[in-house]
Structures are given as structure tokens and as C-alpha cells.
Amino acid sequence: MSERFVVIPVGRLEEANNRVTTDTVPGGRWAGNGNDNIVAQETAAAAAVHILEYSREPNKYGDGNPQESSPFINSSDLDRGNLYDGKNMALFEEEMDSNPMVSSLLNKLANYTNLTQGVVEHEEAENNEGARKKEIKSPRMGTFIGVYLPCLQNILGVILFLRFTWIVGTAGILESFAIVFMCCSCTMLTAISMSAIATNGVVPAGGSYYMISRSLGPEFGGAVGLCFYLGTTFAGSMYILGTIEILLTYIVPNAAIFKGENGGESEAMLNNMRVYGTCCIILMALVVYVGVKYVNKLALVFLACVMLSIFAIYAGVIKSAFDPPDFPVCLLGNRILLSRNYDVCAKVVIEANETVTTKLWSLFCDSPSLNASCNEYFKMNNVTEIKGIPGLASGVITDNLWRDYGPQGMLVEKKGQPSISAPDSEFTSPYVSNDIATFFTLLVGIYFPSVTGIMAGSNRSGDLKDAQKSIPVGTIMAIATTSFIYMSCVILFGACIEGVVLRDKFGEAVSGNLVIGILSWPSPWVIVIGSFFSTCGAGLQSLTGAPRLLQAIARDGIVPFLQVFGHGKANGEPTWALLLTAGICEIGILIASLDLVAPILSMFFLMCYMFVNLACAVQTLLCTPNWRPRFKFYHWTLSFLGMSLCLALMFICSWYYALIAMLIAGCIYKYIEYRGAEKEWGDGIRGLSLNAARYALIRLEEAPPHTKNWRPQLMVLLNLDSEQNVKHARLLSFTTQLKAGKGLTIVGSVIEGTYMVKRPEAKQSEQNVKSAMAAEKTKGFCHVVVSSNLRDGFSHLIQSAGLGGMKHNTVLMAWPNLWKQQEDPISWRNFIETVRETTAAHQALLVAKNIDSFPSNQERFSNGTIDVWWIVHDGGLLMLLPFLLQQHKVWRKCKMRIFTVAQMVDNSIQMKKDLQMFLYHLRLNAEVEVVEMHESDISAFTYEKTLVMEQRSQMLKQMQLSRNEREREIQSITDGSRSSIRRKNHSNQSDGQDEIVIQLADKEEEAQLIHDRNTASHAAISKKVDAVPDRVHMTWTKEKFTAERNRNREPAGIGVRDLFNMKPEWESLNQSNMIQYKQVPAKSACLFY
């Protein structure tokens, strides 16, 4: 039974009556009209039995996980009762009720969590009390607590605290503003597209993976979902590296294990990051494994750290306008000096009326004496002390407008400061310098992770009261808020902080303090401690969310080798996925550089956002009936713009990282397409394919195909046995070898009976035919029809198969076996009628005799020949068939031989040369043989029709008639020649014991069967062979013919190799009033055309 129907035991009749009477008014009357009473009584009667209730819950996705089908708004009575409970912290005034705002705020903050949906439920499932709480718990989160704050916490992170001031100082205010604007525009456009998808029905927990997979299909969903998983995992690495950098650089610098000397500080720092980062990730993984409830309890602490840090920054900016903090920096000339190398910013000081050199003097001179040999630049330039934070009203903003990029090792210099150039000596340079080469694209890649995290609200849609309203509003407001913070910080940092201090990445010129910390108020430690706990919490959340995303992908079953990661502990915790996540995260830790890890995760997040925009654009353009988002402020142009911006940012950040990310996603896509489980999620790519197919079919029908594009489009007619299995599977093998997956192939069959009775058999037959097609690697379509008789069924297939311009032009069928031994003539009559139907439809006909002896797709011919006996008036199809077969690996090493027939009086040598030249112009490689025969051995019909047709075609061409007029003229000549042949050969009889003769029912059927009415092909061929003589009848000598016939009488195994050996018995060739086939050895195979 469908999942939409549920059998509900209601109870006894008395209980139902009581339930009905509770709906009456106190006066005893029904609240409704008189009909309501009747309906209520019927309801009460129905309540006494099991009621088949229809559920309007949408179909489940994936593997049937209940989380996937849970709606946004729970429709249970209990949830309705709690619908308006404590809504006073929402962002809308009409949601306020009588509860005190402060108490509601404290209650919501006490239950605040930034974890994805389902994490807490896994923990609660470990005990019965938690299970009971889960049953009675209803979603209580509104827009502010459920979406806005989690998005805010995820967006504001490590890059803001550790790299943003350096980005502003290096790129300048203008280019930094451009970087922030591009990245924030990208996320805003993505949020608009995400809001449209999230409000289009039920979107379960899982964020972008579920959005993309259910919108673009399992291939795109799996590829982008795994990329999003890798991005989330590397984000954990970035947060852990940020945590260790804050710890070792700003909190406890003495905790470093490796000490760098003589310029090796950077390498020592990387090693310290690797050691401490590995320890940190092991500790965090253990915390997540033991229980995420501890992470959940710290969520409010992490949120408070972020918010307090932001407030401290703005407070410091305001305070700097009238009371700038005292953080001086020392300049030598225009170069900024490391603060750890001096105690006083001066060359000499006066102590006890004596001039004494300082520690700074010792750095540049070989001795502390005043007459020591010093560095030239040190002697020629003065030492200056300036304020590191001049303040908001200082006017330093004009100096920080422009960029200051440079290579690795370039000294940080103050613009506009007087300086005298001088060659530096061999003394160690005590200046602040660039640790990496800086340029615009690098800064874009480093900055972009600071705007990610916009999926935090959509990941927890099941925990929201009204997700279809909360997700768009909360996400867009969070992005607007963070965009304002970033853009304002660009201007405020440039207006308050000296440029050389901004470009000091690690605060080496300000006594090792965090640059953004010295601006904050009341103390730099507010930012240092806040950023430390914030980055630590973000790392824990990444290690919590990434394994669950991998578990969701594994449980969907679209990537077979990931199914092991769908298992975990008894409560559903993804243990194996956590182990893999920690291993991948360790790769980022071993890179050890925040500046190198950030562009990697930027690629994966940008690819994810790009496909979110693509999903929205595709669904909007397709205008599918199911696309009805509640969020109305979207448009396909915005989605397309967001997709283009994401793609551009990928290549701006790093073109080789972008190519690697696309290669990874492409490999995953092809793997899922090749090996993944089939999922039908109603995705937009399938709808897009249908629209593209419809458009292409309409275009194909506008004009007939050109001769250059012509190829056999096959209709394969199959016979089925009593068990509805395919009789001749080798016919499908031959189709595969002839088509090689190109063009149209329709495999049809007919079942006798009526459709109402035979429908199950037709479905089973269709499945059997599809299985046979898959086994023989035949790419095409299957069509099984039910008809009252086989003749009408095959006629219907020939007439109606195909769609628009995609219709067959060639019919392939097998020769009827044992037709002579059957008393019932219906079998061979059906065959004859099928031939006539094909001829009437102006289609080519291929008949394969002894089809079971044809080679399979696994066989390989190392040598052999494909012999073609070419009749001139048939067109060029018989020469095209062996060429197509040679394209397949079964026939690739076989040679083609063309035999043609002419009279004894013809010039055979000249005809052979003409035919060779004709084949040369057709670009076909084949041996040409001419068979000379007496006039009495050549079919009068063949000779006369060929002669008259060619002469008439040449004349019509010279007359320059239209195509329709030419076909009418050719048809009249054909009808005349048929009547003449019937009069000449009316009394002829055939002799011979080895002949199989099919006598037609009447004269009209005989002439109709022999005649090939494919006049369109004849006209086309006559137009193409202008260089060929008017009469191309080519023959052998009788001696050569006898030798060739004797050579072909070899063992049956060799006869299989000469597959198209179609030489007829010339003694009976003049029997023009009947079809004749010479009996061939049992294992030989022939194809008649």
C-alpha cells in the first residue's frame, strides 16, 4: 500500500459518538447546518471501524529517513497548541504576546544551539527520558534564535580577527571594498536562490546537499555534496589553524616547541602549527565522539565571544576618535622595525649626561661605540616613532586608499615618509616584511571563507516553527548584517590604523599584539580571548556537521563505496564518518598555513553556491508545476548572475585550484552516473533534458535530413517465445555492431490479444526486451504493442514508431525459420505483409537469414571478407552497410568486396575501372569484382528496371524537374515496367530440388513484393552518380565464377566468416515472378536487402 494511505484503528462506536458530540454548542444544537448533523453521524459510524485515511504528507526522499519527510510546520494537535508559545523574540511586531520579553529571551538563549538538526536528538535517544522528551517536544525556534544568530556566528570568524586588517592594508581601502562587495554579493544572491528552494515544499535537514540533489539530481547532488563536505572539513582545519596561531602568537608565545634562528622563524612556526594542530584535532574529535551535548552546552559561550568581539571593535573605533590608544611603532627611514629587537626607539640616549647607544644601535653596528662601523641605511636615515593607531579623526584614511602589493620578503614601508636609499650590508634585517607574495587574487581567496556559513539556517529547518518564513528572512538579514560589518570595518580600519601597522600581519611592530586587538576597547585581550574561543567553537562545529553531511550522502546510497560511512553508534552518531573527517582535516593541518588552506575551502564553497544558483535558475526557467516557492523575491537572472559570479570568483581566487575542484566534482559525477544507485527525485536536469529534447525534435521536423547526415535509423522487429523472451538475441548484437550507439534504434515486438488482458504480459515482455538490449549493449528504445494479430501489430509499429523527426527509415527483421514445414501459411504471410508494409512506407528493409549464426559482440575477426552483391538500382545502402560494420571492433579487420553483374557484351574492364573510381569518390576501400553473365541468366525485371530507371533519371535531371514531379515520373515508369514484366514472365516455372519458393497469392502481390518502391532513394542515388556511366552492369567471366563458387564450398566454420556471401543460383535467376532463395549450409548467415 502507498505510504500516503494509513489504516487507523479509531475505536468503539460509543467513543466515536462521544467525540462527535463534543463538537456541539452548549444548547445542544449543532454549530453547523442540518447537513453537518448527517455528516457527523456518518463520521461516528465510520469511526467504529478501521478508517483508510489519506495522508497529504509528500513522498519520502532517499532511503526513507523520517527526517527527510518531516514538514516545516508540524501539523499535530500538540504542535498547534504550542504554535504561539514564546514568540516575542521574533523579528516581527505582530508575533509579540503577553509574555515578558526578557524572560523569553533568557529562555531561548538557554536552549540556544548552533548544531545541525538531529545532533541533539541522537544524544537524547540514549535514554528513555530523552526519548520521552523528544516525543513531546515541538519546534520552538523562531527567526532570530533559529536562523539569524547561527548564521551570524558562522559568518563572523577567524578571517575577520586574524587577516582582515592585513587585507585592508595590503589591498587598500578601495580594492578591499571591492573584494568585500563581490564576496558579499555572491552570498546574497546565493541566499536568494537558497530561500526560493527552501520555501518550495519540504526541505529536510542537510542544507545545500539536499537542495542540490533534489533539484539537480543525484549526480550533481552527490558531486556537489561531497565537495561541500570537503569544504566543511577543510574549514575545520582552517579554524583549528587559527586557534593554534592565536595561542602561539598572541597568548603564550613561549609554548612553541620549535625555535627559529637566523631567519628560520617561519619554518619553525609551521612545525609548531602541525604539532599543536594534530593534538587539537585529536582532542576535538574525542569530544565530538564522546558526546556533542558538551559542544551544544558551549554554543552560547561561543556566540557570546563573537558578539562581544564585534562590540569591542566598534567601541574601540569610537573611542579612537577622541582618545586614540597608545601603541607607538618605530620607523627607520620609512621602514617599520620589529618591536622585539629594541627597547627604545632611538639610536642613542643620554644617561647621566653621557651619550649611550641603544639596543637598536647594536643591531646595525658592529660595536656599541659611537665610532663603530654601521649599516649605510642606518647611518643615513633617522629613527622615528609614530602612533600605530592615530585615530578616526587623524586623516590617515587618505594614505590607506591605495594598494601596496609586493613579493615575498618585501619590506613594509610607510608611504610619504622621508627616506634615503642606501645599500644594505650583511647585517640581519630587523624589519617587518611580507611572509608571502601578495596580489589581488590571493586576497580574494583568503577573504572568501569569512562570508561562508549562510547554510546554518537551512541545515536546521526541522527545528524551526515556520521554516518557510524564517529561513529567507533570517539568512538574508544575517548576510546584510555581516556585509555591513565587513564593509564598515574596511573603512574604519583604514581610517583609524596606520598603513604599516595594517600590513603587519602578525603584529610584530606592536609588541606582538593582535592588530585588531589594539584597536578594540577596553583591552586587546577581549579580542584575543574572544577570537580564540570563537575559532575553537567553529572548529568543533565543523567536526560535528561534516560527518553528518557525509552520513546523509552515504545513506542516500548514490555513492556505493561510501555506504560504510552511513553506519555509526546505536544512537546514529556517525563514528566512521567522524574518523574520515578527522583524517581529511589532518591534511589541512599538515599544510599548516592559514593562507594556503583558505583558498582550498573557498573553491569547494564557491562550487556549492554555484550549483545552488544553478538549481534555482533551472527550476525557474523550466516552470515546472511543482515549483511554487513561498519566497517570491527571486528571479532566474539573479540566480544566473550569482552562478556566474561564483564561477568567476573560483578562477579569480586560484585558477588551478578551480580546475582541480571541477575535476574532482566531474570524477564524482561520472562515477555516480556509472555506478551509483538509481534515484528518482524529480530533479530539474531531467526536466531540462525533456525541454531540450522537445526543442530538438521540433527543429528536426522543420526540414528533412540532408544526405550527408543520413544513416540507417533502425526499427528492429523481434519475435518472442511463449515465455515472452527474445528468440533471436543475435539480432540485437547485429544492431549494436551496425549502429555502434549512433543514431536511432527502436526495438519493437507484438503480442497477440487485447490490451486489457495482455497488459501484464506486455510489461513483462518489455522488461525482458530491455534486459536483452542491456546484455547485448544495444542503445535504443523498446516498444511492445498488443494487437489482435501480428500483421496489424507490426504494421502499427512501422507506421507510428518514433516521434517527430526521430523516426526510423530502415526495418531490420529475421528470416522466418521452418516456414515451409508449417502447415499454417500465416507465418510466412505475416512476413510478406511486413515486407509490403515497409515498401509502402518508403523505408529500407534488411532481412537477416540464419541470424543465430551471426557473430556476438565478444567475437573478433582477425581476417575475412564482407561480400556485397550490388544491384545497381537499389541505391547505395548495400555499400554503406559493410562500411558501418567495419567501424565496430568485431568487423574492424575484415575487408570489403563488391561484386556486380553485367552482360557478356559489356566492357567489363572499363566497368570495373568506373566502379573503382566511383568507390574512390565515395571514400570507400573495397575490392571490385565483375561477374559476366549471359543475358538469359539475368533477371529481366532487374535488367529492365535498372536500365529504364537510370535513363529516365538522367533525362529528368536534364529536364530540371522538381523533386515531386521527378518522383511522379519515376513512379509511372516503374508501374509500366512492372506490367511489362508480368506479361513476359506470366508462364515461367521454377525447377530444382535445392530451391525454396514462395508462391504469391495473386499477380498483384507478386509484383508488389518484388518491386522496391523506394523511389526517393533511387532519385537521390541517380543525382549523386553523375560520373558513373549510364549502364553500370559489371560481371565476371564464367571460369572465375566457377572457381569462386568452388572456393566457397568449404567447411561450415569458414562459411561463418563470409557473412554476407549472397551469391544466388544463376540457373534460376530468371524466375522474375517469384522470390527465390538458395538453400545455404546450416551455419552460414546471409543478409538480404
Residues 772-804 pLDDT 10s: 999 988 889 999 999 998 889 999 999 988 888
- For residues 508 and 336, what is the distance between their CA atoms, to the nearest angstrom? 10
Three-state SS letters, 927-957: EEEEEEECHHHCCHHHHHHHHHHHHHHHHHH
Indicate if the pLDDT at residue 488 is higher than 90.
yes
Average pLDDT over residues 431-449: 92
What integer pLDDT is reported at residue 1076 of this predicted model?
Answer: 31
Question: CB count, 10 Å around CB of 409?
Answer: 12
Beta strands in 188-268 (DSSP E): none
Quick check: 518 and 325 in contact, CB under 8 A? Answer: yes
- For residues 713 and 173, what is the distance between their CA atoms, to the nearest angstrom? 65
Per DSSP bridges, beta strands 348-351 and 354-357 are antiparallel
- For residues 495 and 489, what is the distance between their CA atoms, to the nearest angstrom? 9
Cell numbers given for 28: 445542544
Cell numbers given for 554: 552515504
Who's near 622: CB < 8 A, 6+ residues apart?
A: 684, 687, 688, 691
What integer pLDDT is reported at residue 464 of this predicted model?
Answer: 78
What integer pLDDT is reported at residue 574 of this predicted model?
Answer: 85
- For residues 559 and 226, what is the distance between their CA atoms, to the nearest angstrom? 10
Indicate if the pLDDT at residue 150 is higher than 90.
no
Indicate if the pLDDT at residue 958 is higher than 60.
no
What integer pLDDT is reported at residue 676 of this predicted model?
Answer: 63
pLDDT category of residue 86 using cuts at 50, 70 and 90 = very low
The amino acid occupying position 572 is G
Quick check: 874 and 945 in contact, CB under 8 A? Answer: no
- For the ranges 407-411, 804-808, 1049-1053, the one whose mean pLDDT is highest: 407-411
Lateral strand order in the sheet of 383-387: 335-336, 328-332, 383-387
At 523-532, the pLDDT tens digits run: 899 999 999 9
Give the dihedral sign, CA 62/64/65/69: positive
Cell numbers given for 858: 565478444
Least confident of 193-197, 310-314, 1075-1079: 1075-1079
The residue among 1017 and 294 whose pLDDT is bigger is: 294
Residue 348: phi and psi, rounded to 5, are -135, 155
Instruction: Give Cα 276 distance to the centre of its chain.
Output: 38
The amino acid occupying position 604 is F
Average pLDDT of every residue of the chain: 75
The residue among 289 and 979 whose pLDDT is bigger is: 289
What integer pLDDT is reported at residue 966 of this predicted model?
Answer: 58
Cell numbers given for 700: 528536426
The H or E element that residue 472 is part of is helix 467-496
Least confident of 260-264, 296-300, 452-456: 260-264
Q: What is the pTM of this model?
A: 0.68
Three-state SS letters, 148-203: HHHHHHHHCCHHHHHCHHHHHHHHHHHHHHHHHHHHHHHHHHHHHHHHHHHCCCCC
Least confident of 123-127, 490-494, 587-591, 625-629: 123-127
Q: Is 895 helix (H, G, I), strand (E, B) or coil?
A: strand
Quick check: 324 and 379 in contact, CB under 8 A? Answer: no
What integer pLDDT is reported at residue 823 of this predicted model?
Answer: 63
- Distances in Å between the Cα of 949 and the Cα atoms of 438, 553, 589, 670, 1022 are 80, 67, 82, 53, 9
The amino acid occupying position 1025 is V
Average pLDDT over residues 831-849: 89
**In terms of Cα–Cα distance, which of 851, 854, 857 is closest to 866?**
854
Q: How much is the CA Rg of the chain, to the nearest whole Å?
A: 42
- For residues 748 and 730, what is the distance between their CA atoms, to the nearest angstrom? 15
- Distances in Å between the Cα of 710 and the Cα atoms of 697, 760, 779 are 16, 38, 19
- Distances in Å between the Cα of 415 and the Cα atoms of 108, 396, 1042 are 51, 11, 102
- SS3 percent helix, strand, coil of the chain, rounded to 5, is 55, 10, 35
Quick check: 289 and 578 in contact, CB under 8 A? Answer: yes
**In terms of Cα–Cα distance, which of 495, 526, 503, 514 is closest to 324?**
495
Cell numbers given for 252: 603564550
**In terms of Cα–Cα distance, which of 295, 227, 285, 207 is closest to 543?**
285
Quick check: 178 and 402 in contact, CB under 8 A? Answer: no
Per the document, the length of the chain is 1089
- For residues 649 and 643, what is the distance between their CA atoms, to the nearest angstrom? 10
Quick check: 330 and 345 in contact, CB under 8 A? Answer: yes
Least confident of 231-240, 684-693, 848-857, 982-991: 982-991
- The owner of cell 500516503 is 4
Cell numbers given for 697: 525534435
The amino acid occupying position 174 is L
- For residues 395 and 838, what is the distance between their CA atoms, to the nearest angstrom? 90
- For residues 270 and 43, what is the distance between their CA atoms, to the nearest angstrom? 75
Instruction: Give Cα 420 distance to the centre of its chain.
Output: 60
- For residues 966 and 956, what is the distance between their CA atoms, to the nearest angstrom? 6
Least confident of 367-376, 390-399, 484-493, 758-767: 367-376
Three-state SS letters, 83-149: CCCCCCCCCCHHHCCCCCHHHHHHHHHHCCCCCCCCHHHHHHCCCHHHHHHHHHCCCCECHHHHHHH
What integer pLDDT is reported at residue 33 of this predicted model?
Answer: 43
DSSP 356: E
- For residues 275 and 279, what is the distance between their CA atoms, to the nearest angstrom? 6
